Structure 1
Amino acid sequence: MSDFLWRFARQFADLNKDNLQRLDELYSADVHFTDPLHDVQGLGDLRRYFNDLYANVSELRFDFHGFDQVAEGEGYLRWVMSYRHPRLAGGRLIRVDGCSHLRWRDKVYRHRDYFDAGALLYEHLPVLGRAIAWLKRRMG
């Protein structure tokens, strides 16, 4: 297991709405962050993204369970994100499996998350969620 990946995952899991200044310890000023719903350039925009993320959920937690360094300064983290949003799934806990691809020198300069956007969001919206459930039943 990579010491860098393990340390990054531990520090990332400790983030919350009150300590987002710690993003400076994890990411370079020119960080490029991408997930299925967002594309963020620069540490300032990343801080705003996380600030908005934490402002809109009542609970958010990452549990990391895989650490794979594939080359010098490059690796993957596997995780489960658990969150509650008051307007999604009746406020129940939503769990989503995902993976992060990271590139780093002394800090992460490229972070790309992979996860099912439907499982994260769309399936929990009132009208769209029913339509997705219907489509899944039809295709299954």
Structure 2
Amino acid sequence: MSDFLHDFARRFADLDAGNLHRLGELYADEVHFTDPLHEVVGLEALQRYFAALYANVTQLDFEFIGFDPVREGEGYLRWVMSYRHPRLNCGQLISLEGCSLLRWNGEGKVERHRDFFDAGALLYQHVPLLGPAIRWLQRRLT
């Protein structure tokens, strides 16, 4: 199980805007992908989602820091995603910790991918005007 997680993480980290056709090597045709901002069903829809994601950033990197098998065909990856978007955080690097629940089939392809992360830390806190208001509110609540 841990071998699958390590291999998937390595291959996923190698993805970029120029090789998204390789998603079919990692994901089943009927993949169900969810994160706090999106829900995507099917490999073609996942390819469109990733193409749009890579089109809007100038840098996107994943560092995988944890590999946690749960049972046969299921496990978690813990990661740090670093990215640059020209309209967020003045184009400076943004880093975010998260984890992914993966369930894969007997053919070694992921059928379920669910990401868990703080959407505010990913996006909202870095939007001009909205970001300062969110940070002010967070300080008030703590």
Task: Give, in angstroms, the shift of residue 139 of structure 1.
Answer: 1.2
Q: Which residue of 1 aligns with 2:100?
A: 100
Number of equivalenced pairs? 140
Task: Give, in angstroms, the shift of residue 64 of structure 1.
Answer: 0.1
Q: Which residue of 2 aligns with 1:137?
A: 139
Q: Which residue of 2 aligns with 1:111?
A: 113
Q: Which residue of 1 aligns with 2:91?
A: 91
1:126 to 90, 103, 128: 128
Give, in whole Å, the separation in 2 of the partners of 1:118 and 1:82: 15
Q: CA RMSD in A?
A: 0.7
Give, in whole Å, the separation in 2 of the partners of 1:36 and 1:47: 18
Q: Secondary structure at the match of 2:57?
A: coil
Give, in whole Å, the separation in 1 of the partners of 2:135 and 2:4: 40
Unaligned ranges ≥5, structure 2: none
Structure 1 residue identity aligned to 2:95: R
Give, in whole Å, the separation in 1 of the partners of 2:110 and 2:24: 10
**Any idea what the Cα deviations from partners look like across 1:43-81, whole Å, max 9, x if unmatched?**
000000000000000000000010011100000000000
Task: Give, in angstroms, the shift of residue 130 of structure 1.
Answer: 1.1
**Any idea what the Cα deviations from partners look like across 1:97-131, whole Å, max 9, x if unmatched?**
00000000120000000000000000000111011
Q: Which residue of 1 aligns with 2:78?
A: 78
Structure 2 residue identity aligned to 1:132: I
Q: Give aligned-pair identity as a percent.
A: 69
Q: Which residue of 2 aligns with 1:46?
A: 46
Structure 2 residue identity aligned to 1:125: V
Give, in whole Å, the separation in 2 of the partners of 1:41 and 1:137: 37
Q: Secondary structure at the match of 1:21?
A: helix
Give, in whole Å, the separation in 2 of the partners of 1:36 and 1:52: 17
**Any idea what the Cα deviations from partners look like across 1:14-45, whole Å, max 9, x if unmatched?**
00000001100000000000000000000000
- The runs of 4+ residues in structure 1 deviating greater than 2 Å are none
Give, in whole Å, the separation in 2 of the partners of 1:12 and 1:73: 17
